[in-house]
Amino acid sequence: MDTPRRARPGAPVLFAAIVAALALGSAAPRDAAAQSADWPTRTLTVIVPPGAGSASDIMARVVMEQVGRQLGQTVVVENRPGAGGTIGANAVAKAPADGHTILAFGALGTAHALYPKLPYDTFKDFAAVIPFGRQPLVIVASPAKYKTLQDLVAAGRTRPEGLNFSSAGVGSASHFGAERLRVAGGFKAQHIPFKGAAEAVTDVIAGRSDFSVQLFTTSLPQIRDRQLVALAVGAEARSAVLPDVPTLVEAGLPAEAVYPFYSGLFVPAGTQRAIVDRLHRETAAALQVPAVKERLATLGVEPMAMTVDEFDRFFRQDAEAAVSLVKAAGIKPAF
Protein backbone atom coordinates (compact mmCIF):
# COMPACT_ATOMS: atom_id res chain seq x y z
CA MET A 1 0.00 0.00 0.00
CA ASP A 2 1.42 3.35 -1.03
CA THR A 3 2.05 5.81 1.72
CA PRO A 4 0.54 9.27 0.93
CA ARG A 5 3.22 11.86 0.29
CA ARG A 6 3.25 14.56 2.90
CA ALA A 7 3.46 18.17 1.78
CA ARG A 8 6.82 19.72 2.44
CA PRO A 9 6.80 22.40 5.11
CA GLY A 10 6.73 25.84 3.60
CA ALA A 11 5.75 24.65 0.11
CA PRO A 12 2.55 26.78 -0.09
CA VAL A 13 4.50 29.82 1.06
CA LEU A 14 7.20 29.24 -1.54
CA PHE A 15 4.61 28.75 -4.29
CA ALA A 16 2.83 31.94 -3.30
CA ALA A 17 6.11 33.86 -3.35
CA ILE A 18 6.91 32.61 -6.84
CA VAL A 19 3.46 33.58 -8.12
CA ALA A 20 3.79 37.04 -6.56
CA ALA A 21 7.23 37.55 -8.11
CA LEU A 22 5.95 36.56 -11.53
CA ALA A 23 3.02 38.91 -11.16
CA LEU A 24 5.30 41.79 -10.21
CA GLY A 25 7.63 41.03 -13.08
CA SER A 26 4.82 41.06 -15.61
CA ALA A 27 3.34 44.21 -14.12
CA ALA A 28 6.62 46.14 -14.21
CA PRO A 29 6.74 46.55 -18.01
CA ARG A 30 3.08 47.59 -18.00
CA ASP A 31 3.74 50.17 -15.28
CA ALA A 32 6.79 51.48 -17.13
CA ALA A 33 4.85 51.73 -20.37
CA ALA A 34 2.05 53.57 -18.61
CA GLN A 35 4.50 55.97 -17.00
CA SER A 36 6.16 56.83 -20.30
CA ALA A 37 2.80 57.15 -22.07
CA ASP A 38 1.53 59.60 -19.44
CA TRP A 39 4.71 61.70 -19.42
CA PRO A 40 4.81 64.53 -18.58
CA THR A 41 2.45 64.54 -15.61
CA ARG A 42 3.66 67.78 -14.04
CA THR A 43 5.85 70.82 -14.62
CA LEU A 44 9.13 70.21 -16.43
CA THR A 45 12.13 71.80 -14.73
CA VAL A 46 14.99 72.64 -17.09
CA ILE A 47 18.23 73.40 -15.26
CA VAL A 48 20.73 75.60 -17.09
CA PRO A 49 24.12 75.82 -15.31
CA PRO A 50 25.28 79.03 -17.06
CA GLY A 51 23.76 82.29 -15.91
CA ALA A 52 20.76 84.12 -17.32
CA GLY A 53 21.44 85.64 -20.73
CA SER A 54 24.13 83.12 -21.65
CA ALA A 55 23.97 81.30 -24.98
CA SER A 56 22.84 78.06 -23.31
CA ASP A 57 20.20 79.96 -21.35
CA ILE A 58 18.77 81.72 -24.40
CA MET A 59 18.69 78.51 -26.46
CA ALA A 60 16.98 76.61 -23.65
CA ARG A 61 14.30 79.26 -23.15
CA VAL A 62 13.55 79.65 -26.86
CA VAL A 63 13.30 75.93 -27.57
CA MET A 64 11.74 74.65 -24.34
CA GLU A 65 9.00 77.27 -24.35
CA GLN A 66 7.86 75.76 -27.64
CA VAL A 67 8.22 72.21 -26.28
CA GLY A 68 5.97 73.18 -23.38
CA ARG A 69 3.33 74.43 -25.82
CA GLN A 70 3.44 71.16 -27.74
CA LEU A 71 3.14 69.07 -24.58
CA GLY A 72 0.53 71.30 -23.00
CA GLN A 73 2.68 71.45 -19.89
CA THR A 74 4.46 74.19 -17.97
CA VAL A 75 8.22 74.42 -18.44
CA VAL A 76 10.32 76.27 -15.87
CA VAL A 77 13.92 77.20 -16.72
CA GLU A 78 16.20 77.56 -13.70
CA ASN A 79 19.74 78.91 -13.80
CA ARG A 80 22.11 77.14 -11.40
CA PRO A 81 25.51 78.78 -12.01
CA GLY A 82 28.72 78.04 -10.16
CA ALA A 83 31.71 75.71 -10.09
CA GLY A 84 32.03 75.49 -13.86
CA GLY A 85 28.46 74.32 -14.30
CA THR A 86 28.89 71.32 -12.01
CA ILE A 87 26.37 72.57 -9.41
CA GLY A 88 23.55 72.56 -11.93
CA ALA A 89 24.70 69.31 -13.53
CA ASN A 90 24.84 67.59 -10.16
CA ALA A 91 21.29 68.69 -9.36
CA VAL A 92 20.07 66.84 -12.45
CA ALA A 93 22.29 63.82 -11.86
CA LYS A 94 20.71 63.40 -8.41
CA ALA A 95 17.13 64.06 -9.53
CA PRO A 96 14.52 61.30 -9.98
CA ALA A 97 14.89 59.61 -13.36
CA ASP A 98 11.31 60.32 -14.43
CA GLY A 99 11.90 62.84 -17.22
CA HIS A 100 10.66 65.87 -15.30
CA THR A 101 14.10 67.31 -14.46
CA ILE A 102 16.19 68.12 -17.52
CA LEU A 103 19.69 69.52 -18.01
CA ALA A 104 20.33 72.06 -20.79
CA PHE A 105 24.09 72.34 -21.10
CA GLY A 106 27.02 71.99 -23.46
CA ALA A 107 29.99 71.78 -21.15
CA LEU A 108 29.64 68.41 -19.43
CA GLY A 109 32.73 67.30 -21.32
CA THR A 110 34.67 70.41 -20.33
CA ALA A 111 33.89 69.89 -16.65
CA HIS A 112 34.85 66.23 -16.99
CA ALA A 113 38.26 67.24 -18.33
CA LEU A 114 38.87 70.13 -15.99
CA TYR A 115 37.68 68.92 -12.59
CA PRO A 116 39.10 65.59 -11.37
CA LYS A 117 36.74 65.21 -8.38
CA LEU A 118 33.19 65.66 -9.62
CA PRO A 119 30.17 64.80 -7.43
CA TYR A 120 28.77 62.76 -10.31
CA ASP A 121 29.97 60.41 -13.06
CA THR A 122 29.85 62.23 -16.39
CA PHE A 123 29.25 59.10 -18.45
CA LYS A 124 27.13 57.03 -16.06
CA ASP A 125 24.80 59.59 -14.48
CA PHE A 126 23.36 61.24 -17.60
CA ALA A 127 21.47 60.18 -20.70
CA ALA A 128 21.95 62.36 -23.77
CA VAL A 129 18.73 63.39 -25.53
CA ILE A 130 19.23 65.96 -28.31
CA PRO A 131 21.40 68.97 -29.20
CA PHE A 132 19.81 72.39 -29.69
CA GLY A 133 22.55 73.31 -32.14
CA ARG A 134 26.10 74.50 -32.52
CA GLN A 135 27.14 78.14 -32.11
CA PRO A 136 30.45 79.01 -33.78
CA LEU A 137 33.02 80.99 -31.86
CA VAL A 138 34.54 84.13 -33.36
CA ILE A 139 38.10 85.32 -32.78
CA VAL A 140 38.00 89.04 -32.00
CA ALA A 141 40.65 91.72 -31.44
CA SER A 142 40.97 95.47 -31.31
CA PRO A 143 41.04 96.98 -34.83
CA ALA A 144 44.00 99.07 -33.69
CA LYS A 145 46.08 95.94 -33.06
CA TYR A 146 45.34 93.32 -35.70
CA LYS A 147 43.68 93.23 -39.10
CA THR A 148 43.87 89.50 -39.86
CA LEU A 149 44.27 86.24 -37.99
CA GLN A 150 47.60 85.74 -39.74
CA ASP A 151 48.83 88.96 -38.13
CA LEU A 152 47.80 87.74 -34.68
CA VAL A 153 49.35 84.28 -35.07
CA ALA A 154 52.59 85.75 -36.42
CA ALA A 155 52.81 88.08 -33.42
CA GLY A 156 52.22 85.18 -31.06
CA ARG A 157 55.00 83.17 -32.68
CA THR A 158 57.58 85.95 -32.80
CA ARG A 159 56.93 88.03 -29.72
CA PRO A 160 59.18 86.71 -26.90
CA GLU A 161 56.52 87.11 -24.22
CA GLY A 162 53.75 85.84 -26.48
CA LEU A 163 50.21 87.23 -26.46
CA ASN A 164 47.46 87.32 -23.89
CA PHE A 165 43.78 86.53 -24.26
CA SER A 166 40.73 87.24 -22.13
CA SER A 167 37.93 84.79 -21.46
CA ALA A 168 34.64 84.51 -19.60
CA GLY A 169 36.34 82.31 -17.02
CA VAL A 170 38.24 79.06 -16.55
CA GLY A 171 36.51 76.27 -18.43
CA SER A 172 34.28 78.58 -20.45
CA ALA A 173 33.84 78.17 -24.20
CA SER A 174 35.92 81.32 -24.71
CA HIS A 175 38.73 79.79 -22.62
CA PHE A 176 38.80 76.40 -24.33
CA GLY A 177 38.23 77.96 -27.75
CA ALA A 178 41.28 80.18 -27.31
CA GLU A 179 43.40 77.31 -25.98
CA ARG A 180 42.45 75.17 -28.99
CA LEU A 181 43.40 78.08 -31.26
CA ARG A 182 46.73 78.60 -29.45
CA VAL A 183 47.72 74.93 -29.53
CA ALA A 184 46.73 74.43 -33.17
CA GLY A 185 48.35 77.70 -34.22
CA GLY A 186 51.60 76.96 -32.41
CA PHE A 187 51.96 80.25 -30.55
CA LYS A 188 52.23 81.41 -26.95
CA ALA A 189 49.43 83.22 -25.15
CA GLN A 190 48.67 83.89 -21.49
CA HIS A 191 45.13 83.35 -20.22
CA ILE A 192 43.38 86.24 -18.44
CA PRO A 193 40.11 84.89 -16.98
CA PHE A 194 37.20 87.13 -16.05
CA LYS A 195 33.88 86.39 -14.38
CA GLY A 196 31.90 86.92 -17.55
CA ALA A 197 32.05 87.54 -21.27
CA ALA A 198 31.24 91.25 -21.00
CA GLU A 199 34.39 91.96 -18.99
CA ALA A 200 36.51 89.86 -21.33
CA VAL A 201 35.22 91.75 -24.38
CA THR A 202 35.76 95.12 -22.68
CA ASP A 203 39.37 94.16 -21.96
CA VAL A 204 39.99 93.54 -25.67
CA ILE A 205 38.33 96.81 -26.71
CA ALA A 206 40.54 98.65 -24.21
CA GLY A 207 43.62 97.03 -25.76
CA ARG A 208 44.72 95.26 -22.59
CA SER A 209 44.05 91.78 -24.03
CA ASP A 210 45.37 90.92 -27.47
CA PHE A 211 42.38 88.82 -28.43
CA SER A 212 39.41 86.82 -27.20
CA VAL A 213 37.38 83.94 -28.58
CA GLN A 214 33.72 84.72 -28.09
CA LEU A 215 30.24 83.48 -28.92
CA PHE A 216 28.20 85.52 -31.37
CA THR A 217 25.79 86.44 -28.60
CA THR A 218 28.55 88.19 -26.65
CA SER A 219 30.45 89.90 -29.47
CA LEU A 220 28.18 90.74 -32.41
CA PRO A 221 27.10 94.20 -31.18
CA GLN A 222 30.73 95.28 -30.71
CA ILE A 223 31.73 93.81 -34.07
CA ARG A 224 28.94 95.70 -35.82
CA ASP A 225 29.91 98.90 -34.00
CA ARG A 226 33.50 98.36 -35.18
CA GLN A 227 34.79 98.28 -31.61
CA LEU A 228 36.07 94.79 -32.39
CA VAL A 229 37.33 93.20 -35.57
CA ALA A 230 36.29 89.61 -36.32
CA LEU A 231 39.43 87.81 -37.48
CA ALA A 232 37.93 84.38 -38.12
CA VAL A 233 34.99 82.14 -37.31
CA GLY A 234 35.45 78.71 -35.76
CA ALA A 235 33.20 76.72 -38.08
CA GLU A 236 33.41 74.38 -41.06
CA ALA A 237 31.75 76.97 -43.29
CA ARG A 238 31.28 80.72 -43.16
CA SER A 239 28.46 81.94 -40.95
CA ALA A 240 25.42 83.61 -42.46
CA VAL A 241 25.64 86.08 -39.59
CA LEU A 242 29.19 87.16 -40.57
CA PRO A 243 29.48 86.10 -44.22
CA ASP A 244 32.57 88.22 -44.93
CA VAL A 245 34.62 86.71 -42.11
CA PRO A 246 36.80 83.71 -43.07
CA THR A 247 36.75 80.40 -41.25
CA LEU A 248 39.82 79.36 -39.28
CA VAL A 249 40.79 76.95 -42.04
CA GLU A 250 40.42 79.66 -44.70
CA ALA A 251 42.62 81.86 -42.50
CA GLY A 252 45.38 79.26 -42.66
CA LEU A 253 44.93 77.17 -39.50
CA PRO A 254 44.27 73.42 -39.34
CA ALA A 255 40.77 72.08 -38.69
CA GLU A 256 41.90 71.11 -35.18
CA ALA A 257 41.77 74.81 -34.29
CA VAL A 258 37.96 74.75 -34.37
CA TYR A 259 36.31 74.40 -30.97
CA PRO A 260 32.73 73.10 -31.28
CA PHE A 261 30.47 74.90 -28.81
CA TYR A 262 27.05 73.32 -28.52
CA SER A 263 24.20 73.02 -26.06
CA GLY A 264 21.64 70.26 -25.68
CA LEU A 265 19.41 68.27 -23.38
CA PHE A 266 20.33 65.54 -20.90
CA VAL A 267 18.25 63.66 -18.34
CA PRO A 268 19.26 61.53 -15.35
CA ALA A 269 20.55 58.07 -16.26
CA GLY A 270 17.86 55.45 -15.80
CA THR A 271 15.16 57.58 -17.42
CA GLN A 272 13.01 55.26 -19.53
CA ARG A 273 14.05 55.18 -23.17
CA ALA A 274 10.46 55.83 -24.22
CA ILE A 275 10.52 59.14 -22.32
CA VAL A 276 13.92 60.03 -23.79
CA ASP A 277 12.60 59.30 -27.28
CA ARG A 278 9.45 61.37 -26.68
CA LEU A 279 11.50 64.33 -25.41
CA HIS A 280 13.76 63.96 -28.45
CA ARG A 281 10.81 63.98 -30.85
CA GLU A 282 9.13 66.98 -29.23
CA THR A 283 12.37 68.98 -29.14
CA ALA A 284 13.21 68.09 -32.74
CA ALA A 285 9.74 69.29 -33.74
CA ALA A 286 10.21 72.52 -31.77
CA LEU A 287 13.50 73.17 -33.55
CA GLN A 288 11.62 73.12 -36.87
CA VAL A 289 9.06 75.75 -35.85
CA PRO A 290 9.75 78.85 -38.01
CA ALA A 291 9.80 81.31 -35.08
CA VAL A 292 12.25 79.11 -33.18
CA LYS A 293 14.48 78.61 -36.23
CA GLU A 294 14.51 82.34 -36.90
CA ARG A 295 15.40 83.24 -33.31
CA LEU A 296 18.24 80.71 -33.15
CA ALA A 297 19.53 81.83 -36.55
CA THR A 298 19.87 85.42 -35.30
CA LEU A 299 22.17 84.02 -32.58
CA GLY A 300 24.30 82.24 -35.17
CA VAL A 301 23.12 78.83 -33.98
CA GLU A 302 23.62 76.12 -36.61
CA PRO A 303 21.45 72.96 -36.69
CA MET A 304 22.80 69.64 -35.38
CA ALA A 305 20.30 67.03 -36.51
CA MET A 306 21.14 63.90 -34.51
CA THR A 307 19.41 60.81 -33.19
CA VAL A 308 19.61 60.01 -29.48
CA ASP A 309 22.42 57.53 -30.07
CA GLU A 310 24.32 59.88 -32.38
CA PHE A 311 24.18 62.66 -29.79
CA ASP A 312 25.38 60.28 -27.10
CA ARG A 313 28.43 59.38 -29.20
CA PHE A 314 29.08 63.04 -29.99
CA PHE A 315 28.88 64.02 -26.33
CA ARG A 316 31.36 61.30 -25.31
CA GLN A 317 33.78 62.18 -28.12
CA ASP A 318 33.57 65.86 -27.15
CA ALA A 319 34.50 64.97 -23.56
CA GLU A 320 37.47 62.92 -24.73
CA ALA A 321 38.61 65.81 -26.94
CA ALA A 322 38.38 68.15 -23.94
CA VAL A 323 40.62 65.82 -21.92
CA SER A 324 43.18 65.84 -24.74
CA LEU A 325 43.06 69.65 -24.94
CA VAL A 326 43.60 70.07 -21.20
CA LYS A 327 46.72 67.91 -21.46
CA ALA A 328 48.05 69.56 -24.62
CA ALA A 329 47.48 73.10 -23.34
CA GLY A 330 48.70 72.37 -19.81
CA ILE A 331 45.49 73.65 -18.25
CA LYS A 332 45.41 73.11 -14.50
CA PRO A 333 42.21 71.96 -12.76
CA ALA A 334 40.29 74.79 -11.13
CA PHE A 335 39.42 72.74 -8.02
What does the pLDDT look like over 230-275, one tens digit per residue? 999 999 899 999 999 999 999 999 999 999 899 999 999 999 999 9
Res. 19: pLDDT tops 80: no
CA 205/CA 209 separation, integer angstroms = 8
> Is-contact 165 214, C-beta < 8 A?
no
- Mean pLDDT of all residues belonging to the chain: 90
DSSP 8-state symbol, 1: -
Mean pLDDT, rounded, for 6-22: 49
User: What pLDDT sits at residue 4?
Assistant: 47
Res. 22: pLDDT tops 60: no
User: What pLDDT sits at residue 3?
Assistant: 47
Name the more confident of 25 and 136: 136
CA 281/CA 168 separation, integer angstroms = 33
CA 55/CA 77 separation, integer angstroms = 14
Mean pLDDT, rounded, for 288-298: 96
Closest CA to 137 of 46, 253, 280: 253
Res. 95: pLDDT tops 50: yes
Length of the chain: 335
User: What pLDDT sits at residue 5?
Assistant: 47
CA 56/CA 262 separation, integer angstroms = 8
Res. 28: pLDDT tops 60: no
Res. 39: pLDDT tops 80: yes
pLDDT digits (tens, 9 = 90+) for 163-190: 999 999 888 999 999 999 999 999 999 9
Geometric angle at alpha carbon 234, from 223 and 304, rounded to 5°: 110
Res. 64: pLDDT tops 90: yes
> For the chain, what are the domain ranges?
42-134+261-329, 137-257
> Which pTM was predicted?
0.86
What is the residue-wise DSSP string for 158-204? Answer: HSTT-EEEEESSTTSHHHHHHHHHHHHHT--EEEEE-SSHHHHHHHH
- Does this chain's domain 42-134+261-329 share its CATH topology with 137-257? yes
Sign of CA dihedral 219, 222, 227, 229: positive
Res. 332: pLDDT tops 90: no
User: What pLDDT sits at residue 245?
Assistant: 97
Instruction: Assign domain 42-134+261-329 to a CATH class.
Output: alpha beta
User: What pLDDT sits at residue 195?
Assistant: 87
User: What pLDDT sits at residue 54?
Assistant: 87
Which CATH topology does 137-257 take?
Answer: D-Maltodextrin-Binding Protein; domain 2 (3.40.190)
User: What pLDDT sits at residue 82?
Assistant: 87
Q: Where are the alpha helices (DSSP H) in 186-307?
A: 197-205, 216-224, 273-286, 290-298
